Structure 1
Amino acid sequence: MQKNAASAFMRGLIDYAGLFPPAELPLKEAISNYARYIKGDSRWMMGPFVIPAARLQELNEHRSLFSSDAPLRLSVIVKSLNEMEQLSAFSAAFGELGSITALETPLTDEKSLEQLLERTKPPLYAEVPVQQPEAILDRIKAIRARKERIGVKVRMGGVSADRFPEASEAARMIDECRKRGLPMKFTAGLHHPIREYRPEVQTKMHGFVNVFTAAIMVYSLRIDERTIEQLLLDEQPEHFSFAGQSLAWNGLTVTSEQINQARRQFAGSYGSCSFDEPREEFSLLAIFS
């Protein structure tokens, strides 16, 4: 286990979504990248490879890239119950060379989510829109009380400005999930550590350091919604500090053990179409002492 705060923060943080925009790489290139990453020095930061269930069969010809020592781990996007056969076929084809560690779905009706959980074993993350999410979150909370293996997926951006939620909306979502005890993962738009304006999308992109610091602190310190919003809006790297076994922001501090616990129980990971960009930019921040 990584013991200092920065390592605890980054451990398993990035799910590799190279198939998706803006990178949108061919499968051969994306899966080759993943096979290389999980054998490199930064493999401890890497989560699973994100792929739609409809494309699982395409992985068969790339089976030789993986071994029992460096297996393929997947987070599979399931859009309908009819795709369950693809999951079984993948497991049969890969055996010990691969596993499905999580599922993601755009489905939010209670019946579909229950059926997915009944037919699969990995944890399931249902994508919930940030606008007025309470009713959907209540349904997911009710399912979690019975099934446990369900959480929430939140989209933090995209390829255009209209796909980025306001900080107030994201803050509300994080707070409402914490209140209901719903684990979270994030996707899209979190390419850079700290919030900043990006000309390619003509808006300010949320920073993954902002988002995960907010999630960790709301879980560990019960910061309120307004404080979460302020944290998400902060564009000054020097306001964040990793020092030994602590992470600090604006007079608030969490320990590496609190980070580990929050990451395990609440703020899991985020999907990124790049692995190099976020980890390299994180290492260059002047926020370490």
Structure 2
Amino acid sequence: MLGRFILPATRLPEFATALEANCCAERERPWMLSLLASADREADIAAMQNFTSGLAFLDALELRADSAQQAAQQVEDTLSAYPTQITRFVECSAEALPHILPVLHKHKAHAKIRTGGVTAEAIPGIEAVADFLLACAQAGVACKATAGLHHALRGEYPLTYEPGAPTAVMHGFLNVLAASLLAQAQASREELLMALASTSAAEFTWTPATFRWREHRFTHSQIEAARQHGLISFGSCSFTEPVETLAQAMKETA
């Protein structure tokens, strides 16, 4: 279930020490690491160059762009500085996105959207998510969504695991995946908004060969293509909630 282990690039030396001390060398599958870039690019690159381990590999790098006015040049400079063999994701504001998508396409890098957090204000509206997915699809840039996608379906959930924690309406990963498929199929913005807003498990059905949202049917090959060119990854800080809520959604549609 763990696609990549995410950690700040500056903590690579600490991670290497802990891994060598605690991880069995006979692991069937090595750790794949996704690094969070810091403001100190030179320190990040030095940590990456000095990292050597047969138990883990540097697979991805996650960056953040600043203001819209500086974003394109900043992303151009940053992507040119980091190793090209690593999958690179760039997070930015909605205002900066149109400026950096051509740069991402040029460098074969990917976009990143943050879909949640521990406050209601950190959760973007369905309009922002739909516009992000459509813009990425139109630019030919793959993307990932991270944070807040603990639940299969959109609904109101606690923001944290603390007793009595405040609640907010959060995105569902089935909604986001369906919207990504629609974006790749050149569906309308209105259709993406409806998919993202859906709270009914009955609107989502799947078999080993197909996935449906309402009247839209996607084949296995379409899903494979979308997983390569559309939403290629989503993140959650919980292992159990995504599985449990997906199992519940499947029961409701059985």
TM over 0.5: yes
Which runs of structure 2 are paired with 1:179-194 in the superposition (5 Å)? 179-194=138-153
Compared CA separation, residues 58 and 141, structure 1 to 2 (3 A): same
Task: Identify which of structures 1 and 2 has the higher relative contact order when contacts are C-alpha pairs closer than 8 Å and 6+ apart.
Answer: 1
2:75 to 94, 103, 113: 113
Match of 1:103 in 2: 61
Compared CA separation, residues 249 and 180, structure 1 to 2 (3 A): same
Read off the aligned partner of 2:23 and give its amino acid letter.
L
Where in structure 2 are there 5+ consecutive unaligned residues?
Answer: 159-164
Alpha-carbon distance, 1:197 to partner: 0.5
Q: Is the 8 A contact 1:51 1:75 kept in 2?
A: yes
Report how many aligned residue pairs link the two structures: 236
For residue 12 of structure 2, give the secondary structure of its aligned residue in structure 1. helix
Which runs of structure 2 are paired with 1:48-63 in the superposition (5 Å)? 48-60=4-16, 61-63=18-20
For residue 156 of structure 2, give the secondary structure of its aligned residue in structure 1. strand
Looking at structure 2, the residues matched to 179 and 265 of structure 1 have their Cα atoms a distance apart, in angstroms, of: 11
Match of 1:88 in 2: 49
Which runs of structure 2 are paired with 1:168-207 in the superposition (5 Å)? 168-199=127-158, 200-207=165-172
Alpha-carbon distance, 1:201 to partner: 4.2
TM-score, normalised to structure 1, is 0.76
Q: Deviations over 1:114-167 (max 9, x none)?
A: 33323313121111224xx3xx2333233234322x111101010010001111
Match of 2:239 in 1: 275
Where in structure 1 are there 5+ consecutive unaligned residues?
Answer: 1-44
Looking at structure 2, the residues matched to 172 and 146 of structure 1 have their Cα atoms a distance apart, in angstroms, of: 21
Q: Hey, which bits of structure 1, 4+ residues long, moved more than 6 A?
A: none
Compared CA separation, residues 288 and 257, structure 1 to 2 (3 A): farther
User: Considering only aligned residues, what root-mean-square deviation do their CA atoms show, in Å?
Assistant: 1.9
Match of 1:264 in 2: 228
Q: Deviations over 1:245-277 (max 9, x none)?
A: 110111000011111110111111112111122
Compared CA separation, residues 193 and 156, structure 1 to 2 (3 A): same
Compared CA separation, residues 249 and 262, structure 1 to 2 (3 A): same
